[in-house]
Amino acid sequence: MLHFLKKNKDVICTGIELNEEKVAKCIEKGLTVLQGDINEEVLDYPDDAFDYVILSQTLQQIYEPGKLIRAILRIGRKGVVSFPNFSHWNVRLQLLTTGRAPLTKQLPYDWHNTPNIRVISIEDFRRFSRETGFSILREAAINTDHHENSGNIIKLFSNLRATYGVFLIGNDQ
């Protein structure tokens, strides 16, 4: 994603990744990437160091999501947060019919090996924004196709139909 942004949008960008091999792959491709824990790395930057801070498919793996969201809105003017929607109809149906933790393309792990320690739905995130005290500036609910190369934006019943939620967030005015 960083590579896409740098190549196509000509942005100046920095990535944070924990895994040495992934860090090395990014640096080899010519990206600026720091190896470290996102929860700690965000603390070092000065206020408003970035225009945008993107948490791509990361929030569901964070132990203290409120703290991290506040940190990214301190170091960036705006944030972009995306996560797999846990209230998609397929997830609900699986839980209802099989009585087991659901497995989908977006959430492919078993309960005991998933890195996704938080289950978030689009509706949960809206509620979370009010409780934590940040604004949702724009939101897009996306339903990906089978190959997951592209998706459609969903307007109606998004919490039920979308596989992913993408939010543009900012500080409360």
Partner 1 sequence: MSEYRARDKDRMSVGVVEKKSLTFARPPMEMALENGYTLGPVTLAYETYGKLNPDKSNVILILHALSGDAHAAGYYHEDDAKPGWWETMVGPGKGIDTHKYFVVCSNILGSCSGSTGPGSINPNTAKPFGLDFPVVTIGDMVAAQKALIDHLGIKKILSVVGGSVGGLQALEWCLKFPDMVVSAIPLATTPKHSALSIAFNEVARQAIMVDPHWNKGHYYDGAKPDLGLAVARMIGHITYLSDESMRQKFGRRLQDRNDFSFNFDGDFQVESYLRYQGAKFVERFDANSFLYITKAADYFDITRQYGSGSLVKAFSRARAKFLVVSFTSDWLYPTYQSKAMVKAMKKNGLDISFCEIKADWGHDAFLLASERLTTLIAGFLERVCNETKK
Q: Compare residues 31 and 103 and give the one whose CB is closer to partner 1.
A: 31
Does position 33 bind partner 1 by CB under 8 A? Answer: yes
How many Å apart are CA 129 and CA 140, to the nearest integer? 15
Tokens 């409120």 sit on residue: 66
∠ CA 76-80-82, nearest 5°, is 145
| Binding residue for partner 1, selected from 5, 38, 49, 136, defined by CB under 8 A | 49
| E-state strands within the chain | 15-17, 33-35, 50-56, 76-84, 134-144, 151-154, 164-171
How many Å apart are CA 165 and CA 98, to the nearest integer? 25
Q: Compare residues 22 and 100 and give the one whose CB is closer to partner 1.
A: 22
| Binding residue for partner 1, selected from 3, 5, 45, 126, defined by CB under 8 A | 45
| Binding residue for partner 1, selected from 7, 11, 32, 117, defined by CB under 8 A | 32
Q: Provide the CB-side half-sphere exposure for 139 (13 A, CA).
A: 18
CA neighbor of 164 nearest in space, from 141, 137, 139: 141
Does position 44 bind partner 1 by CB under 8 A? Answer: yes
Q: Compare residues 50 and 83 and give the one whose CB is closer to partner 1.
A: 50
Does position 47 bind partner 1 by CB under 8 A? Answer: no
Q: Compare residues 54 and 120 and give the one whose CB is closer to partner 1.
A: 54
Least distance to partner 1, CB of residue 78, Å: 18
- Phi first, then psi: what are they for 5, rounded to 5°? -65, -40
Least distance to partner 1, CB of residue 28, Å: 4
Q: Compare residues 40 and 64 and give the one whose CB is closer to partner 1.
A: 40
Return residues touching partner 1 (CB under 8 A): 12, 14, 20, 23-24, 27-36, 41, 44-46, 49
